């Protein structure tokens, strides 16, 4: 999981030395592709967020608890389930103190925490990884377009988990979701390309990318999907990043409206007040000098 504004403080501290250098990350790229105006409000205008969604909080707390669980395995000091639950509860409380949480209809603090605990119990009850190579290791790597030219800013990727299974490197990305993923989603996922590129550059070995989806159904489920990336996929990633970079430099910020985008967006109000580009209407704050924000 890439870093978010709501990620756990200790995780942010571990990543800061690398993240301080201007770079691209999957979270930046995907936010622009999902909604350029959201990117503008968040990373350029830096508008305050009035709330964080319960889904984001659940995902962030589960990710942090799993990271600590895997670090224990790596250090050969495997945690018991009560310890992992305690980390989750503490992380939830810390994040809750920092920013208001917007719950969906029928949700509350207890139901969200219970759901997070159920997902942890299911995962921690399975066999532990054979060999943990790295947990949330920041990897800063160059991006090359199809002409072999390096982009001005490198890519920062922070895979959730890197393991070695039967001699092969596997990158694991953990997702909390209300539904199962399709194979086409993982096969086309830009995030998988980011991880494959970063790990290949760092370890000089092509990894498998595994999505471990913790499905938030009434009876929790775990779904695993694997995908691989070839050199053409990695070049395509760089071409997409270069196109995004050019669009941002051209100040191409506009909304992409959909139920999925808008229902939990913290910038819903300023988006509805948006009246077009600043050059045409002057309705948006004057754009400052463009810079690529850290994750």
User: CA separation (Å) from 61 to 10, 158, 286?
Assistant: 12, 17, 36
Please report, in tens digits, the pLDDT of each residue of the chain (295 residues total): 433 333 444 444 444 556 678 999 999 999 999 999 999 999 999 999 999 999 999 999 999 999 999 999 999 999 999 999 999 999 999 999 998 999 999 999 999 999 999 999 999 999 999 899 999 999 999 999 999 999 999 999 999 999 999 999 999 999 999 999 999 999 999 999 999 999 999 999 999 999 999 999 999 999 999 999 999 999 999 999 999 999 999 999 999 999 888 988 999 999 999 988 655 443 444 444 444 444 4
Q: Are 18 and 29 in contact (CB under 8 A)?
A: no
209 three-state secondary structure: strand
Residues pairing with 211 in the sheet = 173, 225
User: CA separation (Å) from 271 to 250, 256, 287?
Assistant: 20, 10, 15
CB under 8 Å to 271, separation ≥6 — which residues? 37, 38, 41, 255, 262, 265
Establish if 77 belongs to a structural domain.
no
Give me the domain span that covers residue 228: 21-44+131-257
Q: For residue 235, how many other CB atoms are within 10 A of its CB?
A: 18
With residue 208 as reference, give the H or E element that holds it.
strand 208-215
Q: Which of 223, 287, 208 is nearest to 46 (CA)?
A: 287
pLDDT attached to residue 30? 97
Establish if 186 belongs to a structural domain.
yes
Establish if 65 belongs to a structural domain.
no
Q: Are 59 and 2 in contact (CB under 8 A)?
A: no
Q: Tokens 């580009």 map to which residue?
A: 277
CA dihedral 96, 97, 99, 105 (to 10 degrees): 30
pLDDT attached to residue 261? 85
Q: Which of 84, 76, 244 is nearest to 152 (CA)?
A: 244
- The CA distance from 239 to 21, in Å, is 21
**What predicted TM-score, i.e. pTM, was given to this entire model?**
0.85
C-alpha distance across the termini of the chain, in Å = 11
Q: Are 11 and 64 in contact (CB under 8 A)?
A: yes
Counting the structural domains of the chain, the total is 1
91 three-state secondary structure: helix
In terms of DSSP bridges, do strands 132-135 and 161-165 run parallel, antiparallel, or are they unpaired?
antiparallel
pLDDT attached to residue 17? 53
Q: For residue 104, how many other CB atoms are within 10 A of its CB?
A: 14
Q: Which of 118, 116, 127 is nearest to 163 (CA)?
A: 127
Establish if 244 belongs to a structural domain.
yes
- The CA distance from 61 to 113, in Å, is 9
pLDDT attached to residue 21? 81
Q: Are 58 and 1 in contact (CB under 8 A)?
A: no
Establish if 49 belongs to a structural domain.
no
CB under 8 Å to 11, separation ≥6 — which residues? 3, 64, 67, 136
Q: Tokens 């086309």 map to which residue?
A: 188
Residues pairing with 141 in the sheet = 155
Establish if 109 belongs to a structural domain.
no
155: domain CATH number is: 3.90.320.10
């Amino acid at each position: 999981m890439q870093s978010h504004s709501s990620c756990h403080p200790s995780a942010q501290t571990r990543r800061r030395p690398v993240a301080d250098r201007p770079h691209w990350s999957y979270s930046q790229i995907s936010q622009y592709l999902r909604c350029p105006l959201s990117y503008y409000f968040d990373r350029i205008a830096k508008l305050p967020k009035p709330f964080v969604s319960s889904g984001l909080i659940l995902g962030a707390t589960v990710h942090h608890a799993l990271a600590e669980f895997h670090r224990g395995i790596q250090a050969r000091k495997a945690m018991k389930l009560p310890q992992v639950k305690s980390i989750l509860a503490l992380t939830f409380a810390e994040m809750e103190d920092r920013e208001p949480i917007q719950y969906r209809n029928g949700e509350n603090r207890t139901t969200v925490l219970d759901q997070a605990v159920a997902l942890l119990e299911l995962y921690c009850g399975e066999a532990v990884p054979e060999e943990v190579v790295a947990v949330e290791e920041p990897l800063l790597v160059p991006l090359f377009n199809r002409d072999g030219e390096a982009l001005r800013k490198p890519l920062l990727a922070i895979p959730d988990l890197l393991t070695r299974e039967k001699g092969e490197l596997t990158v694991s990305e953990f997702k909390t979701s209300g539904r199962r993923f399709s194979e086409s989603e993982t096969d086309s996922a830009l995030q998988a390309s980011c991880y494959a590129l970063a790990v290949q550059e760092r370890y000089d070995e092509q990894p498998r990318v595994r999505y471990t989806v913790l499905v938030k159904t009434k009876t929790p489920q775990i779904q695993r999907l694997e995908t691989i990336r070839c050199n053409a996929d990695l070049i395509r990633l760089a071409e997409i990043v270069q196109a995004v970079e050019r669009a941002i430099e051209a100040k191409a910020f506009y909304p992409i409206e959909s139920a999925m985008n808008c229902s939990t967006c913290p910038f819903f109000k300023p988006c509805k007040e948006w009246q077009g580009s600043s050059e045409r209407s002057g309705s948006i704050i004057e754009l400052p000098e463009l810079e690529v924000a850290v994750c």
